[in-house]
Amino acid sequence: MNKDYDTLRKDWQAGRFEPIYLFYGEEDFLVDSLCAEIIEHAVPAADRDFNFDLLYGNETDGAQIVNNAASYPMMAERRLVIVKNCQMLDRPSQELIRKYAQKPAATTCLVLTAEAIDKKSPLEKLREQVTFFESKRFYENRVPDWIRSRLAGQSMTISNDAVRLLLISCGTSLRALASELEKIQINLGERKHIDAADVEKYVGLSREYNVFELCDAVGRGDIVAALKIISLMVQFGELPLAMMTMLVRHFTLLAKARELRNRQKSEADIARELHINRFFVKNYIDQAQRYGQDHLRQIFGHLLEADLQLKSSYQKPRMILELLVFKICKTSADTNPAYE
């Protein structure tokens, strides 16, 4: 049975536990969070010395796992056995666990985690027998809601600008975001609202001089702002190839936004198809209006040329980037803003 993250937490908070869980997927932070949550609710702290086992797939085998799971709890309601990295167990061990799942101990909660599941492995068949949660990778459009939900659980709020800065700093890494949020919260004291100034101060990120602001300046044809940002980013040690990667991403999104808008797609549809948050989609649409198809082809040609130069030329990276910005912004200035 497939259950989502929030349903699992609600079940445990209400004292409802299944005999076996399987947690796996790319977003390991959610898997680790579920493990921490079930430890908190399944076995009282005073009983964990005798009724909680933490095992690892590369250090154990199926026999030990099943023996631990089949053991009765010692003066407690249940035992909890967590086995991490089950994908590292050999096939006979995985088969033994699948056999145990046919008649699991009623007084044990067995939690299995894996980074990924081979479609031909016994763990894949195990999904048909147990409660499982697949922790899929978060796209950018899902992260703002996750941040707000996490803070709401602690009676806190956050501004849109602050969310944007956290995304710039941490990307879609939930582990990094959780760490930075905790750092900010510690420094806020009793205050319950996070604004952009808090992120700048405690995460150490400036709204003015980062790669997202560079992409935004180039996208809207603001050559003065773009050159200033490049100069400061190079001084601060930012990697030119990383800047190039983000510029390619930005114009790829603009091209897609332009195509979707031409097909009369709504802002919500565009946000969903581009995997960007609804808060930011209007800016992409506005910038996309600056470019026709021919101009976008020229820009991608400029980007490819600059990328090759960065990887093989003896020219200074800053000079290559500045010349690229000149070419893109000139293309932008020559563009008919109407959609074709």
Give residue-wise pLDDT tens across range 139-176.
878 889 999 999 998 899 999 888 888 887 777 889 88
CATH architecture of 5-134: 3-Layer(aba) Sandwich (3.40)
The 10s digit of each residue's pLDDT in 279-292 is: 778 888 889 888 88
pLDDT at residue number 84:
94
For 41, half-sphere exposure in the C-beta direction (CA atoms, 13 angstrom radius) is: 18
Same fold, 5-134 and 140-203: no
For tokens 């349903």, the residue is 7
Q: Which fold has domain 212-333?
A: Zinc Finger, Delta Prime; domain 3 (1.20.272)
| pTM beyond cutoff 0.95 | no
Share of the chain above pLDDT 90, in %: 51
58, pLDDT greater than 80: yes
First to last CA, the chain: 49
Nearby residues of 207 by Cβ (< 8 Å), 6 or more positions away: 161, 165, 196, 200, 213
Q: For residues 4-26, give the mean pLDDT.
A: 93
Angle between helices 174-188 and 160-170 in degrees, nearest 10: 130
121, pLDDT greater than 60: yes
The 10s digit of each residue's pLDDT in 200-252 is: 888 865 555 677 888 988 998 888 888 888 887 776 677 888 889 999 999 99
pLDDT at residue number 279:
74
Please name which of 74, 65, 75, 59 lies closest in space to residue 95, comparing C-alpha atoms.
65
CATH architecture of 140-203: Orthogonal Bundle (1.10)
Say which DSSP state 137 is in: P
Query: Exposure of 260 by Cβ count < 10 A (0-12 exposed, 13-18 middle, 19+ buried)?
Result: buried
Nearby residues of 243 by Cβ (< 8 Å), 6 or more positions away: 211, 214, 230, 233, 321
- In terms of pLDDT, which residue wins out, 182 or 336? 182
Say which DSSP state 61 is in: -
Domain boundaries, the chain: 5-134, 140-203, 212-333
The 10s digit of each residue's pLDDT in 299-328 is: 999 999 999 998 887 788 889 999 999 999
